[in-house]
Copies of this chain bind each other. A is one copy, B any other.
């Protein structure tokens, strides 16, 4: 076993083969089958990461970067063994540059930790995937979430990264400039590469000023098609929504059961608007007019921050409501993203598939982006459950790909979406794989993810 060799490269007490620790590093939030790493290593510096990776490259040992395991597609599962590289000791906010709207962080910083730190500067980091993920993990999967419709996805926020390549070389992928036409855009390629091209050791991120004012609103609709049409009309009117989430009737029902609430069990849109007060009043009135034209009769808005949270409660409790309601089950989440004109059809199709299957499942969508999730409740050790959910997922993906969409809007490829890569990317997949082979000829960087041939 190579653990003794590792202990010569990094302090022995930061290399562990403790079974509980290995088990903790064997799985994420997904339904994918856990696998144990050979060892877990906790680096403290970029130089240590570089030494470990260079060593692993010579010994052909897999390296799997690990944050807090909040991923949805098994990206951190060490399917081929190797070293789980846990970044919990590299969790410092290194520098806030308020005048530049920038922050430099280590990859193990979580987004809530970061936002707590930024609050005193009147700034915030915009990407909100729900979970309190690490910044390194969010960059690896190109995470996004509820605010992306206004502020963009993870890739849009990364100005620069320090990356350790497979051979131990350390590079920077960008600069602190807001824009650049210099060289090739390495930021873009490394963000979303899921640990397969290099290991991130530092990130410089774009920040935003906390908005002067915000308003939230909720609106329910007779049918899911009405709700989607209303959301598309809000986008077409170019109302700058900061958040716009769809939650279907089945999901609201689940929240009512879990929380004992009495929300109308109808397809519902949750809104948040950011801006100045005068502009917000106008945006809100315009949005209300539009949803009214699509059958909404209960548009409710709030400016008080506590009441705002209450208004969004049903959206926030959604995942827990399902997990709580079906103990022992996990949610397999589909993640397609389509052009807005195809969204109503896609959601209708997904709803129909779920009904036909008899599975328990709700639909929630970051609808301004055209991204929605079907949460399918599965027993992780039931191959029948998994197969049925996989079959539904395959049909949802196939529908999306045939209409110009993508198999994953924000969860990444990992293990679950590798089988759709050829259909989605065609010959471009060969270009991607050639990049992988060029940067990682020994296939040590998170092997088995993204590509299966």
Contact = CB atoms under 8 A, between A and B. Distances in A.
Interface of A: 97-102, 141-144, 148, 153, 155-156, 165, 169-173, 175-189, 191-193, 197, 208-209, 211-212, 232, 235-238, 275-279, 281-283, 286, 335, 337-341, 369-371, 400, 404-413, 417, 420-421, 424-432, 434-435, 438-439, 450
B427 A438 contact: no
Given A211-B238, A421-B183, A171 B278 contact: no
A179 B429 contact: no
A341 B99 contact: yes
B179 A148 contact: yes
A271 to B, nearest CB: 16
Contacts of A212: 238
Contacts of A238: 208-209, 211-212
B172 A425 contact: yes
Contact of A171 (B235, B370, B421, B431): B431
Nearest to A175: B406
Which 7 A-B residue pairs are closest in the complex by CB-CB distance?
A188-B188, A279-B279, A176-B404, A209-B238, A180-B406, A100-B339, A177-B337
A427 B178 contact: no
B184 A189 contact: yes
Contacts of A189: 184-185, 188-189
Contacts of A170: 427
Given A177-B405, A209-B236, A275-B279, A432 B337 contact: no
A341 B182 contact: no
A411 B142 CA distance: 28
Contacts of A236: 98-99, 209
Contacts of A429: 183
Nearest to A429: B183
17 contacts: A99-B341, A100-B340, A142-B180, A142-B185, A169-B427, A171-B425, A171-B431, A175-B424, A178-B337, A179-B371, A181-B409, A181-B411, A183-B429, A184-B192, A185-B191, A278-B281, A278-B282
Nearest to A173: B428
A33 B364 CA distance: 58
Nearest to A279: B279
Contacts of A192: 181, 184-185
A188 B179 CA distance: 13
A450 B432 CA distance: 22
B188 A185 contact: yes
Nearest to A413: B182
Given A176-B405, A177-B339, A177-B370, A184 B432 contact: yes
Contacts of A97: 339, 341
Contacts of A191: 185
B99 A232 contact: yes
A337 to B, nearest CB: 4
B176 A339 contact: yes
A185 B187 CA distance: 10
A315 B143 CA distance: 40
Given A412-B181, A435-B435, A428 B275 contact: no
A276 B209 CA distance: 21
A425 B183 contact: yes
A278 B193 CA distance: 43
Contacts of A439: 431, 434
A181 B142 contact: yes
Contacts of A411: 181
A50 to B, nearest CB: 12
Contacts of A279: 275-276, 278-279, 282-283
A397 to B, nearest CB: 10
B404 A177 contact: yes
B193 A184 contact: yes
Contacts of A165: 431
B193 A424 contact: no
Given A97-B339, A175-B406, A188-B189, 12 more contacts: A100-B339, A148-B179, A173-B428, A177-B406, A181-B409, A183-B421, A184-B435, A185-B188, A189-B189, A209-B238, A279-B282, A434-B439
